[in-house]
Structure 1
Amino acid sequence: MKKLIETMVKPLVDHPEDVRIETEESGNRVVCNLTVHPQDIGKVIGKQGRTAKAIRSIVYSAAGSQQDGKTIVVNIVD
């Protein structure tokens, strides 16, 4: 999932070198914390959260076929 998120986010931002994804796994839940440069937060979230929602939808769809019943959560951390 980490590579998929990087592939989607890096072209959106002005500072791709500052894109960081930390993955935490506990039980049947995987949490991906996405950190970007402070100037790029708005680009990743998008108007009314549409970009963030689209990123989450794609990750959830991809995870459905790859993860064994695990729930994927994508957080955008500032």
Structure 2
Amino acid sequence: MKELIETIVKPLVDFPEDVLVNVEEEDNRITYKLSVNKTDMGKVIGKQGRVAKAIRTVVYAAGSSQQKKIFLEIVE
């Protein structure tokens, strides 16, 4: 899943080397924390959050086969 997130986000940003995905796993949930360069934050979020919502939709669909709930957070 981490690779999927990186594959989606890296072509969108100007600084793909700054894309970082941290994984926090708990009993019934997995949280992926996406970090990008500050100048690329707008590109990842998109107008009215459309790009972020689309990324989350793909990640949640890919993780639907797992028994745990998947979350994607975009952090600064």
Q: TM-score, normalised by structure 2?
A: 0.98
**Runs of 4 or more above 6 Å deviation:** none
For residue 73 of structure 2, what is the amino acid of its counterpart?
N
Deviation of residue 8 (structure 1)?
0.2
> What corresponds to 1:32 in structure 2?
32
Q: Secondary structure at the match of 1:52?
A: helix
Structure 2 distance, partners of 1:27, 1:50, is 30
In structure 1, the gaps of 5 or more residues are none
Gaps spanning 5+ residues in structure 2: where? none
Q: Which residue of 1 aligns with 2:6?
A: 6
Report the alpha carbon displacement of residue 53 of structure 1 after superposing the two structures with TM. 0.2
Question: Structure 1-normalised TM-score?
Answer: 0.96
Equivalent residue letter for 1:19: V
Name the CA distance, whole Å, in 2 between partners of 1:12 and 1:54: 13
RMSD between superposed Cα atoms in Å: 0.5
AA at the equivalent of 1:34: L
Count of aligned pairs between the two proteins: 76
How much identity, in percent, do the aligned residues show?
61
